[in-house]
């Protein structure tokens, strides 16, 4: 779940880096956990192997929402996201990956480059038209990907 963009958990869900209990370090997931919760918290989890619930996972930033019906809530979130520009989502997620670990100045240059490219794209133009016309957008990138 540390690799997920959005996490909805059931109140009874449990989480932990329990590999240490088997004489192992959580090598494959440690970096993702570190990015999600910070080095000190991830190290504490890895060293103790403790198990914690959904509410604590939310407080730690591993879970965005705790819901009694997580599948239903996740579908609602997915449907909301599916209504947005596929191009904007793709470019935004690519931007996040590209600037990870960069300094502010370098990341700002990347942001300006990507923003300028998105501004010139058909989805942004359609989004502006739809906003002005007070109607739902019809994303060109969705039609291009066979989603329409």
Which residues are marked as active site? 19
- 86-99 vs 122-133: helix crossing angle, rounded to 10: 130
């Amino acid at each position: 779940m540390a690799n997920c963009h959005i996490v909805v958990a059931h109140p009874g869900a449990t989480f932990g880096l329990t590999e240490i209990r088997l004489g192992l370090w959580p090598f494959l997931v440690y970096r993702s956990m570190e990015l999600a919760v910070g080095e000190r918290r991830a190290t504490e989890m890895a060293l103790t192997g403790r198990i914690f619930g959904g509410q604590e996972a939310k407080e730690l930033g591993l879970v965005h929402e705790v819901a009694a019906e997580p599948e239903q809530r996740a579908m609602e979130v997915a449907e909301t996201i599916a209504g947005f520009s596929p191009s904007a989502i793709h470019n935004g997620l690519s931007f996040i990956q590209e600037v990870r670990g960069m300094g502010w100045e370098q990341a700002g240059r990347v942001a300006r480059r990507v923003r300028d490219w998105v501004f010139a794209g058909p989805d942004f133009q359609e989004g502006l038209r739809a906003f002005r016309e007070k109607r739902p957008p019809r994303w060109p990138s969705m039609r291009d990907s066979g989603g329409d």
